[in-house]
């Protein structure tokens, strides 16, 4: 029982690593970007192609649950992955993207950091140069801003410079 609980908690933590890698290398990769792209573009549709990732991940977790009838410890792993999915939905789809009927902007603490970190993920155009691919763990916002500035191409930096020049005028 204790061991099962430890596996559930380890799976929640492990899923953050999996989500980071999938987001960075698959969703922002050449093929995966086709589905993730509309999540990075402004629109007024209720659903995005990007939601298909959630459908695929749910199908995988259901398969792992079913497999757990014969193989231990697939069931505690699937429970951990489900918990991660719920936390992911609350932080990413709810808190940051407000796909629920109320607005709550966290003002302090770790939730604030997660909120700002994901907004910084959306600060770049296109699939390259983005920062903060995780969802339930985020480095300090200062560090992300530094990475963002360091990753900008000279063209983008020039564009930023000229737009700030314009505002200065
Ligand atoms: Zn992304
Ligand atoms: Zn997002």
**What tens digit of pLDDT does each residue of 105-151 get?**
999 999 999 999 999 999 998 899 999 999 999 999 999 999 999 98
CA of 36 to the centre of ligand 1 (A): 7
156, pLDDT greater than 60:
no
User: Which pLDDT does position 125 carry in this prediction?
Assistant: 87
CA of 159 to the centre of ligand 2 (A): 24
Give, as one character, the DSSP assignment of residue 59: H
User: Which pLDDT does position 161 carry in this prediction?
Assistant: 47
How far is it, in rounded angstroms, from Cα 140 to Cα 107? 15
- For residue 89, the SS3 value is helix
Summarize the confidence of residues 160-166 as an average pLDDT: 46
- Do residues 7 and 71 make contact, with C-beta atoms less than 8 angstroms apart? no
- Of 112, 152, 111, which Cα lies nearest the Cα of 131? 152
Number of structural domains (the chain) is 1
Domain that holds residue 70: 2-168
The helix (run of H) or strand (run of E) holding residue 33 is: helix 33-36
CA of 40 to the centre of ligand 2 (A): 7
List pLDDT tens digits, range 54-73.
999 999 999 999 999 999 99
């Amino acid at each position: 029982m204790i061991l099962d609980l430890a596996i559930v908690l380890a799976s929640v933590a492990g899923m953050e690593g999996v989500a980071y890698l999938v987001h960075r290398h698959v969703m922002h990769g050449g093929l995966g970007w086709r589905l993730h792209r509309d999540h990075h573009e402004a629109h007024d549709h209720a659903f995005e192609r990007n939601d298909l990732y959630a459908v695929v991940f749910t199908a995988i977790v259901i398969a792992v649950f079913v497999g757990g009838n014969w193989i231990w410890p697939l069931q505690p792993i699937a429970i951990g992955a489900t918990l991660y999915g719920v936390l992911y939905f609350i932080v990413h789809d709810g808190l940051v993207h407000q796909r629920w009927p109320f607005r709550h902007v966290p003002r302090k603490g770790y939730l604030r950091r997660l909120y700002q970190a994901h907004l910084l993920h959306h600060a770049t155009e296109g699939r390259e140069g983005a920062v903060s691919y995780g969802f339930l763990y985020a480095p300090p916002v200062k560090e992300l801003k530094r990475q963002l500035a360091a990753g900008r191409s000279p063209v983008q930096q020039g564009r930023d410079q000229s737009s700030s020049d314009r505002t200065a005028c």
